[in-house]
Chain A
Amino acid sequence: EIKYTQLFINNEWHKAAKGKTFPVINPSTGEEICQVEEGTREDVDKAVEAARKAFDIESPWRKLEPAARANLIRKFADLLRRDIDYLSKLETLNNGKPVGDSKGDILGSAACIDYYAGWVDKIAGETLPGAHDQFIYTRHEPIGVCGQIIPWNYPIMMMAWKFGPALACGNVIILKPAEQTPLTALYCAALLKEAGFPPGVVNVIPGDGPECGNAIASHEHIDKVAFTGSVEIGKKIQEAAAKSNLKRVTLELGGKSPLIICEDADIDYAVSVAHRAIFTNAAQNCTAGSRTFVHAKIYDQFIAKSIELAKNRVVGDPFDSNTEQGPQINESQFKKILDYVEAGKKDGAKLECGGERHGNKGYFIKPTIFSGVKDDMRIAREEIFGPIMSVLKFDSYDEVIKRANSTSFGLGAGVITKDLTRGLTFAQRLEAGSVWVNDYDAIINQAPFGGFKQSGHGRELGKYGLESYYEVKTVVVKLI
């Protein structure tokens, strides 16, 4: 059932230079699925060579008409949809998310790819008004070899968000999927070959962060690196990029996103939004609504109803269609999350439900709720990436905005209220790249997504997502 376990360079499958492999684990059972070739610096070098060749000005990729490039990209989206059954099962096997969620991710990914395919022949430079004897115009040129390092929480979707704009602008790619979840990326590499992408345009090198990821970030001949992952690693990547060849950097990092529930919110609606805001994808979501601010007037009601919803959340085998929540990705995350449960208790928050392992196989954790959380507690400040809802009380709107903004993160924020003015005011004042009013985590392919402050810089999705994948060249022709 696992078809591809090697490195994908130049449309061919290769063994790793150092001859080593690494295990890929099924988080539902803790058991090994298979071994995958482990890419290191030499393999990255090989991929860069292939990519550079594919980017040569005379290459088939560079000479492809925009409409033809668009057709290729759409073909890839069609293949994702064609193989959705297999791919969703593979994603669930490797990542642990419920198979229905995997299917949703794939459809969203295909739509994202289609969205960017539509941009290919619409990326235009400008002619600029100048002196009478000047002809001035800009070109939007592809940057070149783009290193893309993606995480394990949405393997296929993160790949789609990276591929879409990069290919639309005519770049070539070296993708390093997370070492926890390389399998679907490798399968998609085969689809790219089937779609007809020329060799070297997209290369996929599974490997770890310190060796393989670092090789990409510090490579002298990679022109840009895009990274989605933790703040800690993001900083390392930016440093390595600057120290080597000043390659362009975009980062999508962590968050501690606030969801603010106002006194006039429909309580049932608010509870359901808050529930999915934190628990979706087993809370392994950079925009997880991990600080739930609830107005004092509805606080007790909110807690009671949230506990009920959390207790009824079906945790279990992600291949079971009734399951709502699968396992955490691995042992290390699993331990870290349970440590946070202890920290919450120690800091004095009230454990309302959950707070322990679910079952005795795999890395399942029960949906957990802490109430009475204070701003300075660890569970209110640090990104947990696990199913722990932290509920904080507030009674002043001015004050809650300040508290919501009092973080070095700034990825997402939500507010539930019937008062439009209040909603729009919050939208103005919340220091976050995405603000959702009466919703949460509304991810839409046309709308840019990214972080304020240490949640990252640059935007993905939307037209803005293209900006970090082209270089602007100004041409001035003097007319003599």
Chain B
Amino acid sequence: MLSKLVSKQIINHGLRLTTRAASASAQPKLVIDRKPPVKFQKLFINNEFVDASSGSTFEVINPATGDVITEVADASEKDVDRAVKAAKDAFRLGSEWRRMDPAARGQLLYKLADLMERDRAYLAALETLNNGKPFKDSYNVDIPHCISVLRYYAGWPDKMNGKVLPVAGDFFSYTRREPVGVVGQIIPWNFPMILLCWKIGPSVATGCTTVIKLDEHTPLTGLYTAKLIEEAGFPPGVVNIISGDGPHCGASLVKHPDVHKISFTGSTQVGKLIGIEAAKLVKRTTLELGGKSPNIVFADCDLDTAVEMSHFALFFNQGQCCCAGSRTYVEEKIYDEFVQRSIERTKRRKVGDPFDESTEQGPQISHEQMDKIIDLIESGKKNGAKLLVGGKREGDKGFFVQPTLFADVEDDHRIAREEIFGPVMQILKFKTVEEVIERANDSDYGLAASVFSKDLDKSIVVSNGLRAGSVWVNTYDNFDPVAPFGGFKQSGLGREKSEYSLDSYSETKCVTIKISQRNS
């Protein structure tokens, strides 16, 4: 059912839509491998899989059971050094990568997308095994989105035009858009494959070389993708993928003098630390951080859609979305009805084995996250919010939390201010447009926001007033590769996806040539 609810744009992208109807009988029935074999567990540097230099490894857990899936190489500062060196060599002036025709760079991305499409079922199963998100989502949303993002970026390399400038004097001046150089990219565990592609796309499109640090919770699909990168034909050193922790591995990547730019997706808290470190070397930095996104439901909305989409806005991906609609502001007139319907919907939410076709919600990523969520739920009760559904851990194996709903939440409750990153919905009441805009903006975050209303005029005016990087009207979580995504305020710096993402991976060089006479 969830696949019907998820924004159609997310599903349709990546699937090769042609007007030839693919007859259902021609497609073999999808066989879901609940125990996808782990094939790659080492660091991917220079197109080779290598052990960590210290030989150490760390465990990768299946969050649905708490059991160990496998062990994976644990990169230390030395390995980061190796990887950065590989990326630096690949970026050398005169290298194969630097000299490659821009269109050929694009063809490599198309090839990678094709390989991902080929291995879609396997990748989706591995993602579910490691992350706990329902297989239905990995297969219908995550992997197709990855494919569409890569194909989007594949079209850019030969289209990044500079300008010839109307300068004064006898000069011929033009700009070049050059790759910024070696980039370090650090991604989180909530959308391992998607964020991997959001990082690979612009790096390759602009001609940079990269070292990507996978999150220590979810390295498996990234390391498999490394193999696809080699198979696609990328020159060695152009994309390096390593697994390791934040404090040592991530930190050394951020501090490394040969890394010219850092792109980080994760918590605001860590984002600030990274910003501080990067500033010491004037490193270009883009950050995609947390959020506490307001979802504003007006009385003149389509109530069925609003209830369903608001549910989805919070609960999708086990609530583990930086842009989760975690403050649901409902207009007074429809408040009671909305709360009632939301209770019903939340109670119906099916939690369980992520490989089960009927499951809507899998486990949270870790014990630590689960504890944090339960703690915030307790704070909600303590602060006086009304707990109407759930509120406890689900079962005693794996890290499942019951779908939880609070109503009558006040703006100063912890659950209304702090990012929970779990399946806990907050419903707050409002009276007027001006009031709700002010309350929605009253946050250090500013990642996303949404408006549900049939009044287009009001929707536009409210959208103009919301201090958020993405505002969705009568929809939620639209992640079209064409559209920029990023935060106002402490939700981040810079934009991902879309043409806007290219600037942070480029440096503009202005070349001025003295000539004997300039004519317009």
A445 contacts partner chain B, Cβ-Cβ < 8 Å = yes
List CB contacts (< 8 Å) of B2-43 with chain A: 12-14, 16-20
A60, A115, A198, A480 — which one has the most chain B CB atoms within 10 A of its CB? A115
Chain B residues with CB below 8 A from A424, complex form: 172, 513, 515
A362–B14 alpha-carbon span in the complex (Å)? 51
- Within 8 Å by CB of A446, from B13, B159, B513, lies B159
Among A111, A118, A198, contact of B156 (Cβ-Cβ < 8 Å): A118
Report A110 CB to chain B, min CB distance, Å.
Answer: 11
- Min Cβ gap B147→A in Å is 10
A64 x B159 contact (CB < 8 A) = no
Do residues A122 and B460 form an inter-chain contact, with CB atoms below 8 A? no
* A196-B12 contact in complex given A71-B151, A425-B515, C-beta closer than 8 Å: no
Nearest-CB residue, chain A, relative to B151? A67
Q: Is A131 an interface residue (CB 8 A)?
A: no
Known A68-B17, A119-B159, A421-B516; contact A445-B482, beta-carbon cutoff 8 A: no
Contact A115–B152 (Cβ < 8 Å): no
Provide the residues of chain B in CB contact with A118, threshold 8 Å.
106, 154-156, 158-159
**In the bound complex, what is the Cα–Cα distance between A449 and B97 (angstroms)?**
28
Q: A314 interface residue, CB < 8 Å from B?
A: no
Quick check: B152 and A421 within 8 Å, CB to CB?
Answer: no
Residue of B nearest to A428 (CB): B519
Instruction: Please give me the residue from chain A that is nearest to B15 by CB atom.
Output: A68
Chain A residue contacts of B499, Cβ below 8 A: 122, 124
Please pick, from A64, A122, A445, A446, the residue contacting B17 in the complex, using a CB distance under 8 A.
Answer: A64
Query: Count of chain B residues with Cβ under 8 Å from any Cβ of A?
Result: 35
Cα distance, A424 to B513, chains bound together (Å): 10
B519 — nearest CB in chain A belongs to which residue? A428
Cβ-defined contact, B516 with A68, below 8 A: no
- Picked from A425, A446, A480, the residue with its CB within 8 Å of the CB of B517 is A425
Query: Does A463 contact B159, Cβ atoms closer than 8 Å?
Result: yes
Report yes or no: B158 in contact with A445, Cβ–Cβ below 8 A.
yes
A429 located at the interface, meaning its Cβ lies under 8 Å from any Cβ of chain B in the complex: yes
**Which of A60, A75, A479 interacts with B460 by CB under 8 Å?**
A479
Q: For residue B110, which residue of chain A has the nearest CB?
A: A74
A135: CB under 8 A from chain B?
A: yes
Q: Which residues from chain A contact B152 at a C-beta distance below 8 Å?
A: 67, 121
- Nearest B-chain residue to A198, judged by Cβ: B19
Q: What's the minimum C-beta distance from B354 to chain A, rounded to whole angstroms?
A: 28
B93 on the A face (CB < 8 A): no
**Contacts A121-B481, A122-B155, A124-B499; A429 near B519 (Cβ below 8 A):** yes
- Mask, B151-188, CB within 8 Å of A = 1, is 11011101101000000000010000000000000000
Q: Assess A445 versus B103: contact at CB under 8 Å? Given A67-B151, A122-B156, A425-B516.
A: yes
Question: Which of B18, B158, B499 has most A Cβ within 10 Å?
Answer: B18
A415 within 8 A of B: no
Q: Is B439 an interface residue (CB 8 A)?
A: no
Q: Does residue B1 face the partner (Cβ distance < 8 Å to A)?
A: no
Do residues B103 and A71 form an inter-chain contact, with CB atoms below 8 A?
A: no
**458-487 of chain B: CB within 8 A of chain A:** 460-461, 481-482
B8 nearest in chain A by CB position:
A65
Write out the residue numbers on chain A whose beta carbons fall within 8 Å of the beta carbon of B16: 68, 71
Give A402-431 interface residues, CB cut-off 8 Å to B.
420-421, 424-425, 428-429
CB nearest to B104 among chain A residues = A111
- A199: min CB distance to chain B, Å: 9
Is B368 among interface residues, defined by CB-CB distance under 8 A? no
> Which chain B residues lie closer than 8 Å to A111 at the CB level?
103
Contacts of A379 in B (CB 8 A): none
Tell whether, in the assembled complex, residue A122 and residue B159 are in contact, meaning their CB atoms are under 8 Å apart. Answer: yes
CB pair A121 B461 closer than 8 Å: no
Query: Are B518 and A428 within 8 A (Cβ)?
Result: yes
1/0 per position for A114-156, CB-CB distance to B under 8 A? 1101111110100000000001000000000000000000000
16 contacts between A and B (CB under 8 A): A61-B19, A67-B152, A68-B16, A68-B17, A70-B155, A71-B17, A111-B103, A119-B155, A122-B159, A122-B482, A124-B499, A196-B19, A197-B19, A420-B513, A421-B516, A477-B460
Q: Footprint of A on B, CB under 8 Å? A: 12-14, 16-20, 102-103, 106-107, 110, 148, 151-152, 154-156, 158-159, 161, 172, 457, 460-461, 481-482, 499, 513, 515-519
Listed from nearest, the 3 A-B pairs whose CB atoms lie closest are: A118-B155, A68-B17, A196-B18
Interface contacts beyond A71-B151, A196-B20, A446-B102: sample of 16 additional A-B pairs, CB < 8 Å, sorted by A: A61-B19, A64-B17, A67-B148, A67-B152, A71-B16, A71-B17, A117-B155, A118-B106, A118-B159, A119-B159, A121-B152, A122-B155, A122-B499, A135-B460, A425-B517, A428-B517
